[in-house]
Structure 1
Amino acid sequence: MELPVVFMALLVMCSSEAYAQSAPSPSSLTPTPAPAPAPEFVNLTDLLSVAGPFHTFLGYLESTKVIETFQDQANTTEEGITIFVPRDSAFKALKNPSLSNLTADQLKSMFLFHALPHYYSLADFKNLSDMSPVATMAGGQFTLNFTDVSGTAHLTSGWSDTKVSSSVHSTDPVAVYQVDKVLLPEAIFGTDIPPTAAPAPSPDIAPAADAPKAADSDSSPGSSPDKSSSYRIMSWGQLVLAISGGLVLFL
């Protein structure tokens, strides 16, 4: 009878040790922290379609496929993107130079020139003034200069002098800012920047002092007498003849 009791005791001890080894430790019961949420996907086509109006700018981005480059930079890189978007009215005001004369490669570079390969908030533009010139997504010599004027970011591309007039979207990793003018790079258009149009001249008004001179010129030697003077001379002559004829009758 003692053997089954000993066997049972050994079985209980082995089961206890096996449970102790398989039981989860207190540390393993602690929940693991949730992963940080991924940045919200920003559809630039949808964003530019409802804001603005930026239809002309968006049309160029789509025709040159630059929108795909911007979208990839915005959502698949850690750097993010900053885009400067001119309104439709800025393109209408652009008469010289004409974008219609650009090649496909030049047009693509020009619109890549409207973005920086990094996310910048409005507060960051003050630091960009010290970093100028700043490389754009067009690379190479396609750079922008920034200055801070009373808290407003001003941009210059050589041909264009403009400023950030409003924030369209600014949430890391995508920043979209409205600018007043189309950014025209010197790397495409050269350094022969057209001068600012001069104001329209005021109507020419002859000074009053010239009036007597005009009158004097009419009475200068060699000038023909006017009709009123000739009429007066003829009237006096006729009067003299009439008086002479009357005296003859009395005689």
Structure 2
Amino acid sequence: MASTLIVPTLTTLFSLLLLTPQTQAQAPAPSPSGNLNLTGILDKAGQYNTLIRLLKDTQQLTQIQSQLKSNSQGATLFAPTDNAFQNLKPGAINDLTDEQKVQLILYHVAPKYYSLSDFLTVSNPVRTQASGSEGSWGLNFTGQGNQVNVSSGVVETPINNALRQQFPLAVYQVDKVLLPLELFGARSPSSAPSPKASKTTPEKPSTAKEGGASSPSDSQKDVNGAAGRNVGLGMVVGVGLICMGVLSS
């Protein structure tokens, strides 16, 4: 009687031991995005202090990590080096408003995970976190083989190094800051104001009364008058001499 009770018990235990590994294997693995530390990735690679500061100042560091937990598409960050920021014109970043700095950082983030090989087949332009409904603020990718270039319309640079290339986050080094055309594009020169038509005032003829040079007609009159007076004086002198000669004879 006792042996009859033991056999089912052993059988049951043996079945449980066989089922336990299968149950553990079916348990879902924890999401890798929960342990992602974007600052740690950049710190480990070095030469990204300016980018880290901008990510924190614009509060986009927290935003990106939060989206990784809720976004099933993942994300891709293009990380400019410290030298890339130093090579910008003086004041290029400091002259931006707080809102423009946020847009600049969002322009370096694609709301989808892309491997390097994906960039060879994407449809340009690729949307970024800064892209609006009108489709602006996009990036263009070209390349062949293992070489991929990214262009913003203002600058173009190769993607040299993958700091992380594992879903849900890819981080790629770029040696130039991706300056969006919407912020740093050449502005059309303002149209010059149309010149006003100049009004010409006809010059008044100069007259002797205004103290200017006398007209030719006036000069001629003066010459003729003086000549007439000289002739008359000569005749009077001549007549007087003739009379004096008659009286003395």
Query: Secondary structure in 2 aligned to 1:168?
Result: strand
Question: Which of these residues, 59, 80, 87, is aligned with residue 53 of structure 2?
Answer: 59
Tell which structure's C-alpha radius of gyration is larger.
Answer: 2
**Equivalent of 2:105 in 105, 108, 111:** 111
The answer to whether the Cα contact below 8 Å between 2:120 and 2:144 also exists between their aligned partners in 1 is no
2:184 partner amino acid: F
Contact conserved, 1:39 with 1:173, CA < 8 A, in 2? no
User: 5+ unaligned residues in a row in structure 1: which ranges?
Assistant: 1-22, 194-251
2:29 aligned with 1:34: no
Structure 2 length normalisation: TM-score?
0.62
Shift of 1:192: 3.9
Match status 1:144 vs 2:121: no
Q: 1:93 aligns with which of 87, 94, 115?
A: 87
What is the DSSP-based 3-state SS (H/G/I as helix, E as strand, rest coil) of the residue aligned with 1:143?
coil
- 1:188 paired to 2:183: yes
User: 1:132 is matched with which residue: 105, 118, 124?
Assistant: 124
Structure 2 counterpart of 1:35, one-letter code: A
Q: Does 1:175 align with 2:175?
A: no
- How many residues in Structure 1 have an aligned counterpart in Structure 2? 171
For residues 112-150 of structure 1, the C-alpha deviation after alignment (integer angstroms, 9 at most, x for no partner) is 00011111111211112xx00010011221100111134
In the aligned structure 1, how far is the partner of 2:179 from the partner of 2:90? 11
SS of the residue aligned with 1:49?
helix
**Structure 1 residue 159: Cα displacement:** 1.2
Instruction: Give distance in 2, aligned partners of 1:135 and 1:117.
Output: 8
Distance 1:155 1:67, change over 3 A: same
Deviations 1:57-110 (A, max 9, x none): 110010000111211122332111100001100111101671111111111011
The match for 2:39 is 45
Give yes or no for contact 1:158–1:191 (8 Å, CA) kept in 2: no
What is the TM-score of this pair, normalised by structure 1?
A: 0.61
